[in-house]
Structure 1
Amino acid sequence: MANELDEMTGSVNEAGRDINVIEKQLPVKIGFGSTLFEIMLWVLGVVPGLIFLFMKIGARNYFRKLQQKIQADASQIDNFLEQRVQILRNVVPLVERAIDLDKDVMKAVAAYRGGAQTSDSQRNAVSNNLDRAFGRLFPQVEAYPDLKAHAAIADAMKQNSYLQKEITAARALYNDTVNMWNSDIFSWPTKMIVAAREGYTTRIPFTASAQIKAEARSTFF
């Protein structure tokens, strides 16, 4: 029997294809079949009904713990973003005295003068804005060897590089947990029934903006 998907002889899209994360939360819904399933368990006897009841309690507790993990993962991203904001706020005044900075960099500093206030809906935007601000700031620093040699600026560049790696790792961890949530809420019967009755929906993973994607495809060297 031949492989359904054959990477050697199958059709290929020569132009390639870009992908995007769909910004949509799907609610969990169950039909009458799930209700009938629960009724039948009780009809079969008290023991099957009680077993499933305890399974639902376990599933509910599991989801609560998973939500706490998602919050902890998101908080870790926020922590790293806050540190990047602080670096930006500290470095810009040093650089500004020597050169005329890009207006977009100054706007970013002004926007985060009070720190990075993030929510689930804002976290992605804050991260992308910081990437753009640093992407404009440090190339300007690179053009001035004397500035680059400044101890505080050199240290800030190293810290920013380190934090970028940490944010990437934290995003991956967050997305893994979100993927676990999105998968488990549709795991029938126990988890899906509990998720539907609790009104749970899928969660949207961390994504890159269209501008960041475009910049990633540009020539760096």
Structure 2
Amino acid sequence: MSSSTKSGRPGWIVPAIIIGVLAVIIFIWAMNVKNGAVTRTQNVGESWGNVETSYERRNSLIGNLVKTVEGAANFEKGTLTAVTEARAKASSIQVDASNATPEQLKAFGEAQAGVQSTFGRLLATVENYPVLQSNQNFLKLQDELASTENEIRTARTRYNETVKDYNTYVLRFPNSLFLGGYREKPYFEASAGAEKAPDVNFNIK
């Protein structure tokens, strides 16, 4: 007669307990991995929201600047139209960070670069209008735009940092065994020249 029988305890009890404990440990660990992925997903979404907010603020300020200069005599209407159209195009492109693709981020970046390009041409023409350079609203916009460009750079950097943290977490082994539904997220790469902010110094004396 086996020792387990003598003790009145079936021989499978101990192995079953061990297996049960291991299963609980694995379950808890897997849940922690899952929750970690959820947290990082939310961080990416929040960071991208800050990127969009920064660009929206820039577009809004540029819109206010356009309204400020519209009244200038003989101001180049074609330049104003180009800026307005570029802003409208940029505003129409929305990106869902949870399902973003490299192509979507590229289109977003190119649209914002279009705003930056036309805005640069607008600033170049402003120097021909001294009355605008003494406009107090214009001076305020100068400061706000410069600050916003810094916010954009910071927001882009922080977004890419959260994406790196997310990708590292969900792709590394053994996390990847439990996170098959979480795919790698793309980084936001600004279009060529977009890393250089428009010069918003109007050479006001």
TM-score (norm 2): 0.71
Q: For residues 210 and 113 of structure 1, do their structure 2 counterparts lie closer, same or farther at Cα, with a shift above 3 Å needed?
A: closer
Deviation at 1:203, TM superposition (A): 1.1
**Aligned-pair identity (%):** 22
SS at match of 2:91: coil
Q: Indicate the residue corresponding to 2:13 in structure 1.
A: none
Which residue matches 2:27?
A: 53
Q: Equivalent residue for 1:95?
A: 69
Task: Write the distance in 2 (CA, Å) between the matches of 1:52 and 1:139.
Answer: 63
**Unaligned runs of at least 5 residues, structure 2:** 1-15, 97-103, 198-205
Distance 1:151 1:103 in 2: 25
Query: Is it true that 1:204 corresponds to 2:186 in the alignment?
Result: yes
Corresponding residue number in structure 1 for 2:146: 161
**CA 1:57/1:102 → structure 2, altered by over 3 Å: closer, same or farther?**
farther
Relative distance call for 1:206 and 1:65 in structure 2 (3 A) is same
Moved over 6 A (4+): none
What does residue 72 of structure 1 align with? 46
CA distance in 2, matches of 1:48, 1:105: 68
Q: How far, CA to CA, are the matches of 1:210 and 1:104 in structure 2?
A: 22
Q: Distance in 2 between matches of 1:47 and 1:155?
A: 65
For the structure 1 residues 74 and 102, does the alpha-carbon distance in structure 2 shift closer, same or farther, using more than 3 Å as the test? farther
Q: Give the stretch that moved more between structures: 48-57 or 90-99.
A: 90-99
For 1:194, the aligned partner's letter is F
Give me the CA root mean square deviation: 2.7
- In 2, Cα distance between equivalents of 1:177 and 1:71: 9
Tell me what 1:192 maps to. Answer: 176
Residue 119 (1) aligns with residue 103 (2): no
The one-character-per-residue Cα deviations of 1:115-165 (angstroms, maximum 9, x if unpaired) are 824214254234322322322222222343332221111211211110000
Alignment pair present for 1:110 and 2:94: no
- Residue 79 of structure 1: CA displacement? 1.3
What displacement does 1:211 show? Answer: 5.0
Which is worse superposed, 102-111 or 78-87?
102-111
Q: 1-side partners of 2:52 and 2:59: how far apart?
A: 10
Q: Is the 8 A contact 1:102 1:136 kept in 2?
A: no
The 2-side partners of 1:209 and 1:86 are apart by 21
| Alignment TM-score, normalising by the size of structure 1 | 0.66
Aligned to 1:12: none
Larger Rg computed on CA atoms? 2
Q: 1:133 to 1:111 in 2, by over 3 A?
A: closer
> Unaligned 5+ residue runs, structure 1?
1-41, 217-221
Letter in 2 for 1:139: A
Instruction: From the two aligned structures, give the one with the greater helix fraction.
Output: 2
Question: Which whole-Å CA distance do the structure 2 matches of 1:182 and 1:114 have between them?
Answer: 30
Paired residues of 1:56 and 1:194 also in contact (CA < 8 A): yes
